């Protein structure tokens, strides 16, 4: 029997919810059903250290009555009448909001996000995959002395979306993620290394490579010392670049813009970062964790260039924020669970070079300048001010001269403004990687002040 077999979502339940809500006085109604099976395994010394398995089915009803919002949810299939009554009752007490609306059907394509190999994986096979993380890390070098976390997750998800305007969508997806935290020691010095990969497809999660990469990230920092305070070129490893990209993720949300909490407010049509890069949000990339045929309101997923040649061309919208500005939804409604209302979020957000002439192979990007700081770890990126864009982060990495690694660096600090920082991008490597649903290649920045 497949380990990740989910409880079947019920299209009949979705129709009952919508129809009964209309019968009870709602002007518009939407049913959202989600069934999931989740398996998480942690390995320690090649044995299962922790195993969690969960099976969940939940549904929610959103109604609009006289431009007032009502919402209710449950995990009990038999409680649907009560859910409808609570949602309609809640709408009678809510404030009027002229921008409330549900989307209408639109053409949508398909995207490959389901892997039978994940859906049918056994507990033993899953544990075997995760154990490869730990084994590969230890095999990489005898200085790898401890592993804090070797973890894999496997998930199967079924979604049904139906509303009174004609949206009727159902799809299934799978997810596999793997991560490991490694400690390397050399005498009195110890360093940590972390790595992560996730995909909708099992064969795209290379467990052994993840273990080796985490070990190498720790090993390369052994013997770190402080560098001199100076102004120099900086290269951001793609994992660190993704952390900085997550600042853009919130600033590109129309919800943040409309609340005055975005550093990109009022900048449509203006140059905001380097003209050498584009920032794209695309929910239709096969296998990526942010991909789906429709968003969490049933609007078709899209491929959108949000910043083109450094110029901001648009924001991300769901149905509500789009109506507030008189534009169309970009298919970026997201729900953290069936128990929450849709907000605005990214699908797969990533950086690409505008021109192929700005793309260097990974080895050549280190030879593009005489010397630079190659940043492989950053602490505190999440503390950047989302409105002003100001940041100050501690970084570590490698000092590079003439393309060669000279010594590992610790306790350096990079400060500045995120927009000014990304305006300084000079070149892009050919190693685009996604960590979660955010992706970036390795990036070369022009001279930046670094404190040490």
- Both tokens of 58, joined, read 């939940």
Distance CA 234, CA 73 (A): 49
pTM value is 0.95
Contact between residue 44 and residue 193 where contact means Cβ atoms under 8 Å apart: no
pLDDT of residue 8: 65
Average pLDDT over residues 114-118: 97
Distance CA 286, CA 48 (A): 31
pLDDT tens column, 429-440: 999 999 999 999
Average pLDDT over residues 368-387: 92
Distance CA 113, CA 1 (A): 22
Q: What is the mean pLDDT of the chain?
A: 94
Distance CA 331, CA 436 (A): 19
Contact between residue 407 and residue 268 where contact means Cβ atoms under 8 Å apart: no
Distance CA 444, CA 236 (A): 7
Distance CA 175, CA 152 (A): 10
Distance CA 430, CA 449 (A): 26
Q: Residue 225 — pLDDT band, cuts 50, 70, 90? A: very high
pLDDT of residue 333: 98
Distance CA 24, CA 22 (A): 5
More confident residue, 187 or 325: 325
Model confidence at 1: pLDDT above 60: no
The secondary structure of 6-60, three-state, reads CCCCCHHHHHHHHHHHHHCCCCEEEEEEEEEEEEEEEEECCEEEEEEEEEEEEEE
Residues 6+ apart with CB under 8 A from 269: 311, 312, 313
Distance CA 219, CA 221 (A): 5
Name which of 185, 172, 123 is nearest 152 in CA terms. 123
Residue 193 is classified by DSSP as E
Q: Where are the domains of the chain?
A: 11-219, 230-451
pLDDT tens column, 74-102: 999 899 999 999 999 999 999 999 999 99
Residue with tokens 């299934």: 172
Model confidence at 108: pLDDT above 80: no
pLDDT of residue 2: 43
pLDDT tens column, 256-269: 999 999 999 999 99
Q: Which fold has domain 11-219?
A: PmbA/TldD fold (3.30.2290)
| Element of type H or E holding 66 | none
| Element of type H or E holding 449 | strand 443-451
pLDDT tens column, 39-77: 999 999 999 999 999 999 999 999 999 999 999 999 998
Q: Residue 4 — pLDDT band, cuts 50, 70, 90? A: very low
Model confidence at 361: pLDDT above 50: yes
CA dihedral 210, 216, 221, 222 (to 10 degrees): 130
Distance CA 295, CA 308 (A): 23
Model confidence at 3: pLDDT above 70: no
The torsion angles phi and psi of 21, rounded to 5 degrees, stand at: -65, -40
pLDDT of residue 332: 98
Q: What percent of the chain has pLDDT over 90?
A: 90
pLDDT of residue 357: 81
Name which of 439, 170, 153 is nearest 288 in CA terms. 439
pLDDT tens column, 393-408: 999 999 999 999 999 9
Taking each helix axis from N to C end, the angle separating 123-140 and 207-219, rounded to the nearest 10 degrees, works out to 30
Distance CA 370, CA 350 (A): 28
- Both tokens of 125, joined, read 């096979």
- Both tokens of 65, joined, read 């009555």
Name which of 3, 255, 256, 263 is nearest 152 in CA terms. 3
């Amino acid at each position: 029997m497949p380990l990740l077999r989910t409880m079947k979502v019920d299209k009949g339940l979705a129709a009952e919810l919508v129809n009964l809500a209309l019968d009870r006085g709602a002007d518009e109604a939407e049913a959202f059903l989600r069934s999931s099976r989740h398996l998480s395994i942690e390995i320690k010394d090649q044995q299962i250290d922790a195993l969690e398995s969960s099976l969940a089915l939940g549904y929610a009803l959103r109604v609009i009555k006289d431009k007032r919002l009502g919402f209710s949810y449950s995990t009990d299939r038999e409680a649907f009448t009560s859910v409808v009554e609570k949602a309609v009752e809640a709408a009678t007490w809510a404030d009027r909001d002229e921008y409330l609306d549900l989307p209408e059907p639109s053409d949508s394509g398909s995207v490959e996000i389901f892997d039978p190999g994940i859906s049918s994986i056994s507990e033993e096979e899953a544990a075997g995959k995760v154990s490869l993380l730990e084994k590969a890390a230890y095999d990489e070098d005898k200085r790898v002395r401890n592993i804090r976390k070797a973890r894999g997750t496997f998930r199967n998800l079924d979604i049904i979306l139906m509303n009174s305007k004609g949206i009727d969508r159902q799809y299934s997806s799978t997810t596999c993620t793997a991560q490991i935290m490694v400690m390397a020691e050399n005498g009195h010095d110890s360093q940590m290394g972390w790595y992560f990969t996730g995909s909708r497809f099992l064969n795209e999660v290379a467990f052994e490579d993840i273990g080796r990469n985490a070990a190498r990230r720790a090993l390369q920092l052994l013997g770190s010392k402080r560098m001199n305070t100076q102004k120099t070129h900086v290269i951001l490893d793609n994992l660190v670049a993704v952390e900085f990209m997550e600042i853009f993720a919130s600033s590109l949300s129309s919800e943040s813009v409309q609340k005055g909490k975005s550093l990109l407010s009022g900048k449509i049509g203006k140059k905001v970062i380097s003209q050498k890069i584009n920032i794209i949000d695309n929910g239709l990339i096969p296998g990526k964790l942010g991909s789906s045929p429709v968003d969490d309101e049933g609007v078709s997923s899209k491929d959108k260039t949000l910043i083109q040649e450094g110029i901001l061309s648009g924001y991300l919208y769901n149905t509500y924020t789009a109506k507030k500005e008189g534009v169309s939804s970009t298919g970026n409604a997201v729900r953290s669970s069936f128990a929450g209302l849709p907000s605005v979020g990214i699908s797969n957000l990533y950086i690409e070079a505008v021109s192929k002439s700005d793309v260097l192979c990974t080895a050549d990007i280190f030879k593009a300048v005489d010397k630079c700081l190659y940043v492989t770890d950053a602490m505190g990126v999440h503390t950047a001010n989302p409105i002003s864009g100001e940041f100050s982060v501690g970084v570590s990495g490698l000092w590079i001269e003439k393309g060669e690694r000279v010594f590992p660096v610790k306790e350096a600090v990079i400060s500045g403004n995120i927009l000014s920082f990304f305006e300084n991008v000079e070149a892009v490597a050919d190693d685009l990687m996604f960590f979660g649903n955010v992706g970036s290649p390795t990036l070369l920045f022009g001279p930046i002040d670094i404190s040490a």
